[in-house]
Amino acid sequence: MSCTFELEHYAEILEAAKAGGYRFAPFAESPERGDLFLRHDVDLSLEAALSMAQLEAEHEARATYFLMTESVFYNLASSEGVAAVARLGEFGHWVGLHAVHPHAELDDRFEPVIAWHNPSAEYMSERIPGVVNVYSEPWFAPATYRSDSNQHWRAGCPHEELRAGGFPWLQLLVHPEIWVYPGSTMGATMLSMLDRERERRLVQLVDDGIDLA
Ligand SMILES: [Zn+2]
Ligand SMILES: [Zn+2]
């Protein structure tokens, strides 16, 4: 098995987790043995989030999608954003807020759970009254956390340990854009995302009545 950042391998990671006996848990619950908190910080693309969400549904996996209300890359209040939130719910996933500090205002689109975007150390792990901060205890501990940040597993791809049941429980942060768009480096992946984005924008321009002739 080669640990490429492609949906094919992501599906293998999901199947490894199931083989290892893990259950897909919501952040509303404190970690217990066998819990897998599948976390997606959606930084750049709702389209990528929905592709990943559908694949997970096909593999009977459930994840928490952390969506931004202050993204420069997408608009959660647009028709596209509203549809994305609804679709994630239909797939059986949970939606949390990918918040820009200090704004942690939750509304009825979100479960009471937040993940800070690009947090700094001073507030990263601070408890927030009435809300789960995924970087606070008991949901966060370095030994039970893996992240694919910038298309690199700092502590290795987790598929083998998942299959062997090696983690007591795990918070697994996966960024959909990295897996949905092709590219063997983060830079290449971002360029293919932008190519796809260009196509998408051209369609949107036509839909908006712009004459591209
Ligand atoms: Zn792997
Ligand atoms: Zn982020």
pLDDT attached to residue 2: 84
pTM strictly above 0.75: yes
The CA-based angle 165-167-169, given to 5 degrees, is 110
pLDDT of 135 higher than 80: yes
User: 11 C-alpha vs ligand 1 centroid, how far in Å?
Assistant: 10
Closest listed ligand to the CA of 9: 1
Q: Please report which residue ranges of 62-136 form alpha helices under DSSP H.
A: 79-90, 121-124
Q: Tell me the mean pLDDT in the region 182-205.
A: 97
pLDDT of 20 higher than 90: yes
Residues, CB-to-ion distance under 5 Å, ligand 1: 3, 157, 159
- What are the tens digits of pLDDT across the range 88-126? 999 999 999 999 999 999 999 999 999 999 999 999 999
How far is 9 from 99, CA to CA, in rounded Å?
29
The helix/strand/coil state of 53 is helix
Closest listed ligand to the CA of 8: 1
pLDDT of 1 higher than 80: no
How far is 34 from 37, CA to CA, in rounded Å?
10
User: 10 C-alpha vs ligand 1 centroid, how far in Å?
Assistant: 8
Count CA atoms within 13 Å of residue 79 on its CB side: 3
Residue 178: Cβ within 10 Å count: 24
C-alpha distances out from residue 116 to 13, 85, 96, 145, 200, Å = 25, 19, 11, 16, 28
How far is 206 from 154, CA to CA, in rounded Å?
43
> Tokens at residue 68, please?
């931004």
- R_g of the chain, CA atoms, integer Å: 17
- Average predicted confidence (pLDDT) for the chain: 97
DSSP assigned state of 128 = B
The helix/strand/coil state of 187 is helix
- What are the tens digits of pLDDT across the range 33-86? 999 999 999 999 999 999 999 999 999 999 999 999 999 999 999 999 999 999
User: 206 C-alpha vs ligand 2 centroid, how far in Å?
Assistant: 31
pLDDT attached to residue 70: 95
User: 13 C-alpha vs ligand 1 centroid, how far in Å?
Assistant: 6
The helix/strand/coil state of 195 is helix
Closest listed ligand to the CA of 99: 2
How far is 70 from 192, CA to CA, in rounded Å?
24
C-alpha distances out from residue 149 to 130, 161, 176, Å = 28, 19, 11
Contact 125, 136 (CB under 8 A): yes
How far is 121 from 5, CA to CA, in rounded Å?
28
